[in-house]
Amino acid sequence: MHMTISEVFDDLYDHYERPEHEGPDDMLGTLMRTILSQNTTRSNTDRAFGRLLDRFDGDWDRMRRADAEAIVDAIEVGGLARQKTPWIQSILEELHEERGEYSLEFLRDCDPEEARAYLSNFKGVGPKTARFTLMEAAGMPFFPMDTHILRICKRLDWIDESLSGTKAHEAMEPRIPEGEHYAAHIVLVRHGRELCHARHPECELCPILEQCPHGEDQTSSQTPCHPNEPNT
Ligand code: SF4
Q: How far is the CA of 39 from the centre of ligand 1 (A)?
A: 24
C-alpha to C-alpha distance for 119 and 132, rounded to whole angstroms:
11
Predicted local distance difference test score (pLDDT) of residue 229: 41
Residues 158 and 188 reside in one and the same domain: yes
Residue 219 counted as domain residue: no
89 and 46, same domain (yes or no) = yes
> What pLDDT is recorded for position 228?
45
For 74, how many CA atoms within 13 A lie in the half-sphere containing its CB?
22
**What local confidence, expressed as pLDDT, does residue 227 receive?**
46
Q: Are residues 15 and 33 in the same domain?
A: no
Q: Residue 34 domain-assigned?
A: yes
Query: d(Cα 159, Cα 35) in Å, to the nearest integer?
Result: 26
Burial class (CB in 10 A: 0-12, 13-18, 19+), 113: exposed
- The confidence score (pLDDT) of residue 222 equals 64
CATH code, domain with 88: 1.10.340.30
Residue 230's pLDDT is what?
A: 42
In a domain, 199, yes or no: yes
Q: Which parts of the chain have pLDDT scores under 70?
A: 222-232
- At 161-176, the pLDDT tens digits run 999 888 999 999 999 9
- Mutation to probe ligand 1, out of 208, 217, 222 (largest number of atoms < 8 A from CB): 208
Please report whether residue 215 resides in a domain. Answer: no
Quote the number of domains for the chain: 2
Are residues 87 and 60 both part of a single domain? yes
Provide the CATH number for the domain around residue 201: 1.10.1670.10
Protein residues with CB under 6 Å of any ligand 1 atom: 152, 155-156, 195-196, 201-203, 206, 208-209, 212, 214-215
Sign of CA dihedral 214, 188, 175, 5: positive
Same domain, 11 and 53: no
* Position 224 in a domain: no
In a domain, 228, yes or no: no
Rounded CA-CA distance 131/134 in Å is: 5
CA 85 remoteness from chain centre: 21
Are 38 and 16 members of one domain?
Answer: no
How far apart (Å, rounded) are the C-alpha atoms in residues 75 and 35?
A: 11
Amino acid sitting at position 171: A
Q: Which domain holds residue 55?
A: 27-138
| DSSP conformation letters of 129-150 | HHHHHHHHHH--S-----HHHH
Query: Looking at ligand 1, which atom is closest to the CA of residue 203?
Result: 2
- Please check whether residues 38 and 82 belong to one and the same domain: yes
128: annotated active-site residue: yes
Percent helix, percent strand, percent coil in the chain, to nearest 5: 65, 0, 35
**Residues 33 and 133 placed together within one structural domain of the fold:** yes
| In a domain? residue 225 | no
Domain contains 223: no
- Per residue in 181-218, is it b (16+ CB within 10 Å) or e — as a string? bbbbbbbbbbbbeebbeeeebebeebebbebbebbeeb
- For residues 43 and 132, membership in a common domain is answered with yes
CA distance 189 to 214: 18
Full-model pTM:
0.88
